[in-house]
Structures are given as structure tokens and as C-alpha cells.
Amino acid sequence: MPVSAPLSALPIVLRLIAAIGGGYAVAAGLAALLALTLPAVTPMVRSEAVVLSSMLAFPIYLALLIWAFAERRLLRLWLVLGSLGIASWGFALGLARLVTAS
């Protein structure tokens, strides 16, 4: 029995890592992307855009945490969080380079 206990806990640990780390990465990436996008498409001041995007990142993170434990398939969870994190940070860094280059 003690040998199978760590193996049965592995999916829970992987889900926790995905929920906490992956959810944070996605929420932070979306906040960075939104903080860069809002001043470009609206007359909003940059500092207000940063505050607004940071405030909006909290419910996004909460929704991702809840979804991480509602999702039945662990592989889908990792794939969605990984692709969203890479995409949001990729777009944010690309937009940051465009904004600073001009």
C-alpha cells in the first residue's frame, strides 16, 4: 500500500503545479498583453492600463484555478495552459518590441 500511495498522488501534484504555475503564467501574460494593448487602442493613460490589467488578472487566475480542478484530462490541462501561456507571453513580448522600436 505505501508504494502505490505516491503514484496515486502524482496526478494531484501535477494538477496543482499546472493550476498554480500555469495559471499564474497565463494570467500574468494576459495582464502584460492587456497593459500594452490598452494604451495603444484607447486614450487610456499607460499607468491606468497597467493597474486595470493587473486587477483583471486576478479573476482570470481564479477562473483558471477553478477550471484546472474541473478539467478531467490532465494532458488537456497542461496543453491548454502551456499554449495560452506561450501565446500570451509571445504576443506581449512581440508587442513590447514593436512599441519600443517605434
Predicted confidence band at 2 (pLDDT cuts at 50, 70, 90)? low
Cell reading at 74? 490532465
CA-to-CA dists, residue 14 to 22, 55, 63, angstroms: 11, 27, 18
28-85 pLDDT, tens digit each: 999 999 999 999 899 999 999 999 999 999 999 999 999 999 999 999 999 999 999 9
Per-residue DSSP letter, 49: H
9-26 pLDDT, tens digit each: 889 999 999 999 999 999
Backbone angles phi, psi at 24, to 5 degrees: -65, -45
Place of cell 492600463: 49
Place of cell 486614450: 43
Answer whether residue 4 shows pLDDT above 80: no
How much is the pTM? 0.88
Determine the residue type at 32.
A
73: three-class secondary structure by DSSP: coil
Cell reading at 80? 491548454
